Structure 1
């Protein structure tokens, strides 16, 4: 493979969340914290899946520029995997059953054997992470009251998701270039429908497990407030909905959604806020971060 693509910048940053694990780090609020922590639970296994899905096609693409992008993408995702493994270890130390939370996701991903379907699923999940990232960076007030250590990690992750947001779709377009356009469209949108349903079921289940680990009852009052936080204020879902629906447009191209001013603004913030956390010298992530099935 060639050099890492110039627009995709892997940052070898060690946030060390497990060394300073904090319960209810988001405004001292269980539900706000659960919204974010339960997202982290799914990330390490998901990111390994993404890396395998794209690298499978790296030598088969007609557009050789994509091979450099896949390399940059994979290094970024490997660093994300490392940091969210550490994050999840901090959750285990606080008494949350992360293994149980991860079990359904791991089992589901292992059932997907077709490389093309794996790639379509990767595109779908990457779209979810991109719209979440836009919400975080365009509306930084959603993290008001969050502990700065966690906010740094999520801002870094969101920035890098936007840097590589078009890679998976570009690989999908190239890999499916001989497929009729209608079939490619239904494969892409069918994958996001499946991902949305599966993710929501598992996510809500995990929020319940998380809350009960803290002795919180998960009745109507709990879920009413949870949905208020998700949709109204802080409103992660509200800020994400329109961007999410764009995926259903024929010919959807995430490269056209890329916001260079936003990316540049948060590159400066991340560089400033994490300058003391960057590994020196920079080291490539170990291959075991993305093990084969």
Structure 2
């Protein structure tokens, strides 16, 4: 096994390059209860997002790998490989993150079960790919908000802040890969069917994502002894739509997905990718978690 060494955050990369960064944040070894500025509801919101990720990332990798050898496009095959490596690192770090949640007393297995069940029910490869496209768009929106408004994480514990910025950056780097694969995989279908499948998958995915997210938020807060009645719902409304307004900030980009012919490559995120890379390089300049180079 090669000796581990820190990831070189200062190394130059092309703006459109998919860069797998094998970084270990160690959150499972030192989990924090209300790590997001001491706010239990905001912390539960982001923690609930992490609950989706290990099962979700494995689902994404399977979805794209199914088509990798079937597409006569070496450039896209290379992008699928870079995507899969990034997602594998995300899986590892969020498994560690979720182990930390379990150590804090949360029933992580019970919260992950609905995610696993929903994804296991998607068996048809093209539908699985359409669901992957939908989830990738949702995560790209989260990533755009995170990188554009990174000050929102100023009050967060450093390990969590770095992990979510790292994840957001890599999601933007590979945001177009799943839809590129979908367009080629569904090329033989009439355009209206391709569009209908893509939008149907988004409608179903967005509904279940929000439903399970809110369910797991309430479960986490109840496990900490917090009330999840009217005050909880008012706080959720405030976070989603008023201040900072996570859904309000992401609604415009989200709705673009419903345009026929939507292509995330037509949205120029170059400045966000550059600023995200620079932000992480500055964060890790003095110190950082142990990292290993990708094979």
TM-score in terms of structure 1 length:
0.92
Question: Which aligned runs of 4 or more in structure 1 are off by greater than 6 angstroms?
Answer: none
The residue that corresponds to 1:210 in the other structure is 220
Q: Does 1:251 align with 2:264?
A: no
Counterparts of residues 137-156 of structure 1 (less than 5 Å): 137-156=147-166
Conservation of the 8 A alpha-carbon contact between 2:22 and 2:294: yes
Please, what is the CA RMSD of the aligned residues? 1.3
Query: Is 1:35 aligned with 2:68?
Result: no
**1:89-238 equivalence runs, <5 A:** 89-238=99-248
In the alignment, is residue 80 of structure 1 matched against residue 90 of structure 2? yes
Partners in 1 of 2:181 and 2:28 — Cα distance?
35
- 1:5-45: per-residue Cα shift (whole Å, max 9, x none)? 97100001000001111000011010010110000011010
CA deviation profile, 1:68-120 (whole Å, cap 9, x unmatched)? 00000000000000000000000000001111111011011111110000000
Contact 1:62 1:174 in 2 (8 A): no
Structure 1 residues 203-248: Cα deviation after superposition (integer angstroms, max 9, x where no partner): 1111110110000111111111122112211221111110000000
Deviation at 1:144, TM superposition (A): 3.3
Larger displacement relative to structure 2 (264-273 or 118-127):
264-273
Q: Which residue of 2 aligns with 1:60?
A: 70
Does the Cα contact within 8 Å between 2:20 and 2:294 map onto a contact in 1? no
1:262 CA drift (Å): 1.4
State the aligned residue count.
Answer: 279
Contact 1:143 1:234 in 2 (8 A): no
In structure 1, the residue matched to 2:8 is none
Q: Give the structure-2-normalised TM-score.
A: 0.92
Task: Indicate conservation of the 8 Å contact 2:21/2:294, yes or no.
Answer: no
1:71 corresponds to 2:81: yes
Deviation at 1:157, TM superposition (A): 0.2
Residue matched to 1:287: none
What corresponds to 1:291 in structure 2? Answer: none
Conserved? CA contact 1:137–1:262, under 8 Å: yes
1:278 deviation in Å?
4.8
Residue 277 of structure 1 is matched in structure 2 by 289
Give the Cα–Cα distance (whole angstroms) in 2 for the partners of residues 238 and 142 of structure 1: 14
Q: Distance in 2 between matches of 1:66 and 1:192?
A: 23
**Shift of residue 270, structure 1, vs aligned partner:** 1.5
Query: What's the CA shift for 1:184?
Result: 0.2
Match of 1:17 in 2: 27
